[in-house]
Amino acid sequence: MRYAALTDVGRRRSSNEDSHLADGRVFAVADGMGGHLAGEVASGIAIDALRDITGARDLERLVIERVQRANSLVFERAQADSDRHGMGTTLTACVVEDNHLIIAHVGDSRLYRLRDGRLKQLTKDHSLVAQMIERGHIKPEEAAEHPQRNVITRALGIEENLKIDIKSKEMAPGDRYLLATDGLTSVVSDDEIASVMASEDALEGASEKLISLANARGGPDNITVVVFEPEGWGRTRPKKRWVMKTITGLLAVAWLAYGGWIAWQYVTSGFYLGERNGRVAIFRGVPGDFAGFTLHTLVKETDIETGKLPAPYQRRLNDGLPVGDLNSAERTIVDYRSLIKETR
């Protein structure tokens, strides 16, 4: 995975209460809330819960457990410390498993995917305005100006039991992903985000551009962006094809060698009677050929005309009649002679 992450306090806040993580395996943003630096503590706890997630048999379950544990931790601290009462945080996290992303989401931070030039929001905002849009009370374009636009309906650390949105998405080569807190999305439109994501080759450049766009719009809130994309698929796929071709080639060579060995056994050990120039002949080897090689040599042509033999004998000679060795070949020739004499 290639990735870049950037956070900025913005133009109006005195401290940054966002936290984030980008380590190549886990990508996450968290937007903390609550006075006296409580937001910073809450978002920090949520992010810390996702560190060192190593290969579990059921990774999705492990992610849920970690997020639930973070929820309990924030909730308990908020209860214990009156200064931190009401502290909570959003959390939007992606854990990479093979070519899949396990996505865990609570709150109004967002995950976007740019695929084939089109930007799609993969998470659903847990906010009052999102609910109002869904119910048709307001139009999407009214959300940005709505007085309650910052009210979220779900957050980590607020209640004892947390409902987490969890899903798995397959990644495709060329995909690009963006995690962002509302410091970006409340002032920069999806279209603008799409154009930056599609036009900036370097992920660092894209991150910087998104942050400066938000600050150019007044930077009313802390801004955090994490950009990542799968890499190496363009290289590994042809490599796998190359490996498969080589294996297929080696198998073909082995098969030919094996077939050749079998054929060689016939050639060196067997004799058969066949037809040549209308007469019975003794051959060493086997009738027909293998991979373009003739597998028999003429030992002796007799003066027995095959046309004088009964039809079933002629057919067997056409196919090649195996005989164990040269002696039995000669004995069969003698039999043929007496057969022809008798039928006369």
Q: Which stretch binds Mn ion (CB under 5 A): 41-49, 220-228, 236-244, 336-344?
A: 220-228
Q: Which is nearer to Mn ion, 71 or 109 (CB)?
A: 109
User: CB of residue 68 vs Mn ion: minimum separation in angstroms?
Assistant: 23
> Which residues from 273-312 bind Mn ion, rule CB under 5 A?
none
Q: Does 40 bind Mn ion (CB under 5 A)?
A: no
Name which position in 40, 108, 221, 229 contacts Mn ion (CB under 5 A): 221
Q: Which stretch binds Mn ion (CB under 5 A): 140-148, 160-168, 221-229, 247-255?
A: 221-229
- Tokens representing 172? 């495709």
The answer to whether 105 and 165 are in contact (CB under 8 A) is yes
The residue written with tokens 């039928």 in the block is 343
Size of the site for Mn ion (CB under 5 A): 5
Q: How many residues does the chain have?
A: 344
> What span, in angstroms and rounded, lies between the C-alpha atoms of 339 and 309?
8
Name which position in 8, 182, 229, 275 contacts Mn ion (CB under 5 A): 182
Using alpha carbons only, what angle is made at residue 192 by residues 201 and 2, rounded to the nearest 5 degrees? 30
User: CB of residue 251 vs Mn ion: minimum separation in angstroms?
Assistant: 59
Name which position in 31, 40, 125, 275 contacts Mn ion (CB under 5 A): 31
Q: Which is nearer to Mn ion, 178 or 263 (CB)?
A: 178
> What span, in angstroms and rounded, lies between the C-alpha atoms of 89 and 124?
16
> What span, in angstroms and rounded, lies between the C-alpha atoms of 253 and 243?
15
Q: Which stretch binds Mn ion (CB under 5 A): 38-46, 172-180, 217-225, 273-281?
A: 217-225
> What span, in angstroms and rounded, lies between the C-alpha atoms of 23 and 62?
18
User: CB of residue 185 vs Mn ion: minimum separation in angstroms?
Assistant: 9
User: CB of residue 183 vs Mn ion: minimum separation in angstroms?
Assistant: 5
Q: Which stretch binds Mn ion (CB under 5 A): 37-45, 195-203, 219-227, 277-285?
A: 219-227
User: CB of residue 225 vs Mn ion: minimum separation in angstroms?
Assistant: 12
Measuring CA to CA, which residue among 315, 316, 318 is closest to residue 276?
318
User: CB of residue 18 vs Mn ion: minimum separation in angstroms?
Assistant: 7
**Half-sphere exposure of residue 123, counting CA atoms within 13 Å on the CB side?**
32
- Tokens representing 11? 């133009």
Beta strands 100-106 and 110-115, pairing class: unpaired
Q: Which stretch binds Mn ion (CB under 5 A): 23-31, 245-253, 283-291, 293-301?
A: 23-31
User: CB of residue 224 vs Mn ion: minimum separation in angstroms?
Assistant: 8
Q: Which is nearer to Mn ion, 123 or 306 (CB)?
A: 123
Does residue 102 sit in helix, strand or coil? strand
Is the torsion defined by CA of 124, 125, 126, 132 positive or negative? negative
> What span, in angstroms and rounded, lies between the C-alpha atoms of 182 and 173?
28
**Residues that bind Mn ion in the complex, under the rule CB under 5 A:** 31, 181-183, 221
